[in-house]
């Protein structure tokens, strides 16, 4: 590798010195600096990226998706194994060293799913999705019935209570109304939080069972035309999904913290803390109609009325239902595909991932992302065949068992944690890669600017502007339909840049980020998507509504590939720790203010605010040192040491003991909220202890957080020393 004479600091461009965008480049843009690259290598990198971005093809992505959605392929089935084998063959043809890694996980499949209304009249429910004549894939008999993975078997008959979305505030409202779910079957609508949280809360409130349905207000006819006339959920569509308590720990329930290999020491199923104890099942809107219109009791509170054509009541009343579930729990094989493109330095890895298992066909979720990954891999392989050799090894992964609870990725990370922490530079994730034209992303704060910069380089298929410019325009006008306020996932910061979401859970970045401390990011193009986890998420839906031309599949491959190349080829890794430290300091200040408002003991938080300030100072010292070092290139060995240190700052933010009550989650800054599911909690250990007014846990978590901030600051000071020419 050649090294130029001038270093552009890894954080020196946070103010947005990368002007312009586009897939083709040219003129001043070709000469613009790139974060993390010596000036003498910028032209070489831009030429490489332009060659890469010319390779992804919409037509080829369409062909891949048609193949990937040729049959239902739920995890734990031979069909999922067939998909894994096909993916392995594709990567081998691109020039990757590809292999299948299997794990044995404790997973259920439904033997019997019954639901019937027994009062005030008898009616058989649990109806399945209706075929659509114009969509031959919906005629399949291979789709699994609607069920919730990790529900126990049960046979229950009880009265019904409507609990709105089944969230903490909904149960508070019911308590205020004097309505209890104890001994009753709760019925909740999908939305607002992860379905497993709905089950957990129903269990905590001593419900006998839980039914979850899709209300047309949320993703059905109230939103727009339903499939096949539009992208929204038909009345018969069912949202399958897992109710594993992944906020406690994801992955195989019987092997928390260790890989689910054949010889692993396993818990007894009764001791698995992340498995529900009450039966849960999903139903469609037409079945929910029969139950909800039979409820008596008070009229629902404001905001609880859905779109079914009658007045909703809370219950209980005359309505009683009989729920019978028989689940077949077994050790089942899952199949991860791990493909490597060897770099000049195999001690550093850029890791990319997407899951391949689906509840049925999974055209959007996940196989749009799978098709995108294949386009990215094909382009990287073509560059390699043309003489390019990656600077770092690129590892591309396709996980199995994600839908059941992030099983494939979690087991692989648990099996390889030490090596990942020693070698992984970052993890790039896509899941629902494309279901519309709206780019969105989440990332650890140190990588947010890298995502923005890559999005500036790729042209949006809708016109001549970049993906970033289109994204920013949408974010500047985005409003939440109910509150009228800017949406957290689509807003512009005070700096004028698009805000990226924090990483919580819900996809395969979780074990990398929350457990192993690998800097991570997640992205895709979203849109009107009402067929999530249903039979109708198939190729025909994607062709008609999600991405008819498949140009957004190709565009996402260009964005992901550009990020991968910049991480792979950078002279000094492009992390922005000054931005990260600023977010940490703001969060620490917010916690201190909350503690003061609650009238609690705020002294426990003083070390946190102090160490957050020290972290900010250290981040700026490192930033300044990198900027001062631009006059002379670092020696290769010093570069390597610095890169290892830069990549390990995220790991310094881990707590060896993990969060209180859920030690699998090690990250002190971000984790899924205990009652939020997918959404990220910021400084979750401290924040949740503060909410509970638990002074002992608050002191413990604050001390662990302060120690993590101290470690990260020390690591940044080491980097500042290394950066001296």
Measured CA distances, 318 to 117, 182, 291 (Å): 10, 16, 10
* Cα-based distances in Å from 236 to 104, 162, 390, 534, 562: 34, 20, 49, 10, 41
Residue 561: in which H helix or E strand, if any?
helix 551-569
Residue 426 CA to its chain's centroid (Å): 15
Going by their DSSP bridges, the two strands 424-429 and 520-526 should be labelled as parallel
d(CA 492, CA 145): 42
H or E element, residue 398: strand 392-399
- 62, 129, 348, 402: the catalytic one is 402
Q: 10 Å Cβ neighbour count for 347? A: 12
- Three-class secondary structure assignment of 197-241: HHHHHHHHCCCCEEEEECCHHHHCCCCCCECCCCCECCCCCCCCE
Go through 54-80 and write b for each residue having 16 or more CB atoms within 10 A of its CB, e for each that does not: ebbbbebbbebbebbbebbbbbbbebb
Given CA atoms 158, 159, 161, 165 in this order, what sign does their dihedral have?
positive
Separation of alpha carbons 617 and 581, rounded Å: 9
**CA 359, CA 145: separation in Å to the nearest integer?**
10
Strand 392-399 to 315-341 pairing: antiparallel
CA distance 253 to 330: 12
Q: How far is CA 655 from CA 154, 423, 517, 669, in A?
A: 39, 20, 10, 10
Sign of the dihedral defined by the CA atoms of residues 449, 614, 659, 408, in that order: positive
Torsion sign (Cα): 628, 634, 640, 641: negative
* SS3 (DSSP) at 49: helix
Q: How far is CA 452 from CA 30, 60, 458, 497, 523, in A?
A: 17, 27, 11, 8, 11
CB–CB of 451/500 below 8 Å?
yes
How many C-beta neighbours within 10 Å does residue 493 have?
11
Q: Please tell me whether the peptide bond between 366 and the residue prior to it is cis, using omega within 30 degrees of 0.
A: yes
| Residue 683 DSSP class | S
Angle formed by the axes of helices 577-597 and 684-692, nearest 10°: 10
Q: Whose CA is closest to 357, among 373, 335, 330?
A: 335
Residue closest to 511 by CA, chosen among 430, 368, 406, 367: 406
Q: How far is 212 from 151, CA to CA, in rounded Å? A: 12
Which DSSP category does 511 fall into? I
Based on its alpha-carbon atoms, the radius of gyration of the chain, rounded to whole angstroms, reads: 25
402 in catalytic set? yes
Q: Are 665 and 514 in contact (CB under 8 A)?
A: yes
* Whole-number Å distance between alpha carbons of 664 and 247: 9
Task: Give the active site residues.
Answer: 402
């Amino acid at each position: 590798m050649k090294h130029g004479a001038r270093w552009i600091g890894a954080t020196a461009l946070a103010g947005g010195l990368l002007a312009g965008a586009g897939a083709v480049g040219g003129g001043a843009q070709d000469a613009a600096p790139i974060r993390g690259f010596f000036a003498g290598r910028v032209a070489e990198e831009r030429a490489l990226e332009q060659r890469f971005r010319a390779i992804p093809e919409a037509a080829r992505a369409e062909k891949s998706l048609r193949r990937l959605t040729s049959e239902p392929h739920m995890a734990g089935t031979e069909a999922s194994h067939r998909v894994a084998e096909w993916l392995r063959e594709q990567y081998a043809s691109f020039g990757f060293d590809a292999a299948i890694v299997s794990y044995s996980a404790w997973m259920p499949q439904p033997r019997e799913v019954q639901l019937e209304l027994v009062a005030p009249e008898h009616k058989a429910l649990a109806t399945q999705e209706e075929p659509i004549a114009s969509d031959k894939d919906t005629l399949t008999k291979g789709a699994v019935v609607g069920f919730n993975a990790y529900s126990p078997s049960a046979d229950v008959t009880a009265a019904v209570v409507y609990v709105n979305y089944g969230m903490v505030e909904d149960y508070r409202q019911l308590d205020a109304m004097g309505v209890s779910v104890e001994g009753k079957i709760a019925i909740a609508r999908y939305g607002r939080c992860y379905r497993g949280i709905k089950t957990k809360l129903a269990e905590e409130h001593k419900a006998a069972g839980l039914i979850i349905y899709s209300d047309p207000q949320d993703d059905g006819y109230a939103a727009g035309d339903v499939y096949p006339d539009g992208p929204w959920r038909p009345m018969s569509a069912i949202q399958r999904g897992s109710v594993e308590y992944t906020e406690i720990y994801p992955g195989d329930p019987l092997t928390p913290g260790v890989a689910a290999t054949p010889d692993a020491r396993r818990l007894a199923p009764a001791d698995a803390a992340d498995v529900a104890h009450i039966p849960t099942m999903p139903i469609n809107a037409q079945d929910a109609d029969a139950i909800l219109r039979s409820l008596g009791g008070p009229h629902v509170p404001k905001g609880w009325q859905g779109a079914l054509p009658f007045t909703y009541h809370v219950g209980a009343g005359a309505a009683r239902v009989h729920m019978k579930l028989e689940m077949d729990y077994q050790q089942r094989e899952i199949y991860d595909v791990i493909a490597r493109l060897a770099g000049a330095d195999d001690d550093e890895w850029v890791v990319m991932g997407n899951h391949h298992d689906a509840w049925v066909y999974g055209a959007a979720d996940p196989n749009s992302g799978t098709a995108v990954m294949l386009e990215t891999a094909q382009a990287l392989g073509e560059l390699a065949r043309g003489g390019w050799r990656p600077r770092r090894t690129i590892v591309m992964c396709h996980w199995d068992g994600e839908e059941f609870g992030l099983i494939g990725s979690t087991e692989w990370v648990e099996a390889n944690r030490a090596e990942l922490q020693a070698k992984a530079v970052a993890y790039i994730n896509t899941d629902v890669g494309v279901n519309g034209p709206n780019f969105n992303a989440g990332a650890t704060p140190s990588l947010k600017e890298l995502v923005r910069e890559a999005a500036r380089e790729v042209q949006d298929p809708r016109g001549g502007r970049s993906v970033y410019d289109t994204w920013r325009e949408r974010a500047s006008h985005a409003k939440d339909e109910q509150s009228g306020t800017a949406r957290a996932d689509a807003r512009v910061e005070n700096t004028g840049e698009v805000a990226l979401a924090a990483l919580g859970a819900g996809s395969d970045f979780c074990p990398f980020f929350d457990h192993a401390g690998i800097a991570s990011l997640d992205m895709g193009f979203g849109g009107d998507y009402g067929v999530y986890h249903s039979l109708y998420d198939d190729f025909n839906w994607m062709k008609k509504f999600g991405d008819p031309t498949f140009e957004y599949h190709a565009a996402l491959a260009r964005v992901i590939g550009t990020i991968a190349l910049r991480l792979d080829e950078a002279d000094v890794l492009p992390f922005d720790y000054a931005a990260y430290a600023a977010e940490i300091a703001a969060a620490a200040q917010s916690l201190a203010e909350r503690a003061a408002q609650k009238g609690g003991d705020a002294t426990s938080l003083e070390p946190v605010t102090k160490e957050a300030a020290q972290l900010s100072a250290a981040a700026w010292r490192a930033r300044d040192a990198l900027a001062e070092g631009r006059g002379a290139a670092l020696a290769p060995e010093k570069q390597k040491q610095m890169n290892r240190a830069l990549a390990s700052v995220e790991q310094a933010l881990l707590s060896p003991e993990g969060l209180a009550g859920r030690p699998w989650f090690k990250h002190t800054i971000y984790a899924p909220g205990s009652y939020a599911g997918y959404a990220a909690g910021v400084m979750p250990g401290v924040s949740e202890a503060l909410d509970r007014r638990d002074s002992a846990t608050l002191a413990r978590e604050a001390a662990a957080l302060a120690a993590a901030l101290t470690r990260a600051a020390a690591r940044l000071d080491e980097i500042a020393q290394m950066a001296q020419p």
